[in-house]
């Protein structure tokens, strides 16, 4: 192996829902490794926000409006990307939502919406890029799974079902298309310090940590929330030739939570 195996020069990486957050962080890492970045989001405002953020970071990115659950829109976007940028070498299925609702209070429509975006979306996206990857003779698909691909937790029944399904979709794409030199792996992020989670990490009026903050820190051997940028390295590895022998694997970037039973109460 050579260190150049980690380079992505000449590769086109499509990261879904990457206008901000962990998608943006991973796409930025792929760009630093040499990839040309393409991303989509659900509306033009988010795409414009993403283009501006990439530009500020010194990255030239190509943004498209597309709903990953709409197969016609996805096929049109992939055709447009192939015409305007080139064939997608790397697909990162990052777009997703979560609804924190107790199961017996969640409607079937709400459940279906989470499944549609978090599981059907990656299926539709992968289905759209695989034919050209087969023709080109290589391809990398990275599905953004979750610790909820392995664990259950109150109020996230739909999310856990979708992410558990995404884990198995990852393994099945590996099984079905590995012979075409296509590697499909997953990344399972831990708890990430983002603007969305900032209220959960604020110091309380009495000087104590937020109860959820205490819970996460106690459950994480690293003793802290993770940074979005810490997902960039794993994404580059799984997108690069350095991981050509890695297929059907879920790489959990969780600070050790899944390996840890937790601290004994005092």
Residues acting as catalytic residues? 159
Distance CA(194)–CA(196), nearest Å, equals: 5
Tokens 């899944």 belong to which residue?
258
The 3-class secondary structure across 203-256, one letter per residue, is ECCCCCECHHHHHHHHHCCCCCCEEHHHHHHHHHHHHCHHHCCCCCCEEEECCC
Tokens 């792929």 belong to which residue?
30
Q: Helix or strand or coil: residue 10?
A: coil
Contact indicator for 43, 18 with CB cutoff of 8 Å: no
Distance CA(71)–CA(120), nearest Å, equals: 10
Which whole-number Å values give the CA distances from 163 to 61, 117, 131, 151, 156, in the listed order?
28, 11, 24, 10, 10
Helix locations, 103-202, DSSP H: 108-115, 121-136, 157-177
């Amino acid at each position: 192996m050579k260190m150049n195996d980690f380079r992505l020069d000449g590769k086109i990486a499509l990261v879904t829902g990457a206008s901000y957050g962990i998608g943006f962080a991973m796409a930025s890492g792929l760009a630093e490794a040499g990839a040309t970045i393409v991303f989509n989001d659900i509306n033009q405002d988010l795409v414009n926000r993403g283009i501006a953020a990439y530009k500020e970071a010194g990255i030239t990115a190509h943004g498209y409006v597309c709903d990953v659950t709409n197969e016609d829109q996805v096929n049109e976007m992939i055709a447009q990307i192939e015409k305007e940028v080139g064939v997608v070498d790397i697909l990162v299925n990052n777009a997703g939502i979560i609804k924190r609702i107790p199961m017996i209070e969640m409607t079937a429509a709400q459940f279906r919406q989470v499944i549609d975006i978090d599981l059907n979306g990656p299926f539709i996206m992968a289905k759209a890029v695989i034919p050209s990857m087969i023709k080109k003779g290589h391809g990398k698909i990275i599905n953004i799974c979750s610790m909820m691909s392995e664990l259950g937790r109150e109020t996230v029944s739909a999310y856990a079902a979708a992410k558990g399904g995404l884990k198995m979709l990852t393994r099945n794409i590996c099984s079905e298309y590995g012979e075409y030199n296509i590697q499909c792996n997953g990344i399972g992020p831990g708890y990430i310090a983002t603007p969305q989670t900032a209220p959960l990490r604020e110091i309380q009026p009495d000087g104590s940590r937020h109860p959820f903050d205490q819970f996460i820190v106690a459950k994480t051997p690293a003793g802290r929330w993770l940074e979005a940028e810490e997902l960039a390295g794993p994404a580059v590895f799984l997108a690069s030739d350095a991981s050509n022998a890695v297929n059907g694997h879920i790489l959990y970037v969780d600070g050790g939570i899944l390996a840890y039973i937790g601290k004994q109460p005092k």
